Amino acid sequence: MDARNETVVIKPNDIKPNDQAASDAVVSLEAMFEAQYERIARVIARVIRDPGRAEELAVEVLLKWSRNPLAQGSKAEGWLYRAAARMALDELRKQARRNRYEGLPALLRRPPTPEELHSMTEEQDRVRTILGAIARRHAELLLLRSQGFNYDELAAALDLNAASVGKLLSRAQQAFRKEYVEKYGEE
């Protein structure tokens, strides 16, 4: 979690007069960009393969955030990461659909070598495939958890009851494992 704990720069002019708590202060889009852009882009790039596209989507996340009054204040950070995870998963599903329809005739391609089959990239692709295949709620939970969110932060970001996060996370892990084993077998 420490990676996300950098201080958010709040421009004094951007704070609403009626705001009581500093945590509820409205942060300017530029300040939020400075503080969060890189990490949001990295969250997305973990999920999708194209870093250029991850940068585009990170900008979209920040724009969406700036237009959503309910995402301001103390909820901002959780909202941003949830939106980043969702956008990344949606993109992953879109890519999977595109690949399905537009894939090159696989029969004409050479089969992968055993080294390729066991490479890190292959494993990453498998993890991405499974994240795209399981329920989006499960995938969001797993992604944010692997991003370092603790139970309270997960509850806040995903609008969950903090007491049930553990159970939901466990279900998400089981679902991931089940889907993986069904697709790729026990390893």
Partner 1 sequence: MGKNNKINVRRWVDDRLAMLTPPEGWRPDMEAGLARLDRRREGGGAWNRQWAWAPAIAAAVIIISALAFPVTRVSAQRCVNACVVLWNNFSGSNRPSDAVVATGERKIAPDFKLPDAAGKSVRLSEFRGQVVLLNFWATWCGPCKVEIPWFIEFERAYGDAGFAVLGISLDEDGWKSVKPYIEAKNVNYRVMVGNDEIARMYGGLESIPATLLIDKAGRIAATHVGLVEKKTYEEELKALIAEQ
Three-class DSSP category at 29: helix
Which alpha helices (DSSP H) does 16-164 contain, by range?
Answer: 29-47, 51-67, 76-102, 114-117, 120-133, 136-146, 151-158
Alpha carbons 36 and 31: distance in angstroms, whole number: 9
Alpha carbons 20 and 101: distance in angstroms, whole number: 53
To partner 1, the closest distance from the beta carbon of 40 in angstroms equals 9
Interaction between residue 56 and partner 1 (CB under 8 A): yes
Interaction between residue 104 and partner 1 (CB under 8 A): yes
Interaction between residue 68 and partner 1 (CB under 8 A): no
Interaction between residue 105 and partner 1 (CB under 8 A): yes
The residue whose two tokens read 């495939």 is 129
To partner 1, the closest distance from the beta carbon of 20 in angstroms equals 29
Interaction between residue 148 and partner 1 (CB under 8 A): no
Alpha carbons 152 and 160: distance in angstroms, whole number: 9
Alpha carbons 23 and 37: distance in angstroms, whole number: 19
Alpha carbons 19 and 175: distance in angstroms, whole number: 42
Residue whose C-alpha is closest to residue 165's, from 130, 127, 138 = 138
Interaction between residue 119 and partner 1 (CB under 8 A): no
Interaction between residue 63 and partner 1 (CB under 8 A): yes
Interaction between residue 164 and partner 1 (CB under 8 A): no
Interaction between residue 94 and partner 1 (CB under 8 A): no
Interaction between residue 65 and partner 1 (CB under 8 A): no
To partner 1, the closest distance from the beta carbon of 123 in angstroms equals 5
Which residues form the interface with partner 1 (CB under 8 A)?
Answer: 29-30, 33, 37-38, 41-42, 45-47, 51, 54-56, 58-60, 62-63, 66, 99-100, 102-109, 111, 120, 123-124, 126-128, 133, 142-143, 145-146, 170, 173-174, 176-177, 180, 183-184
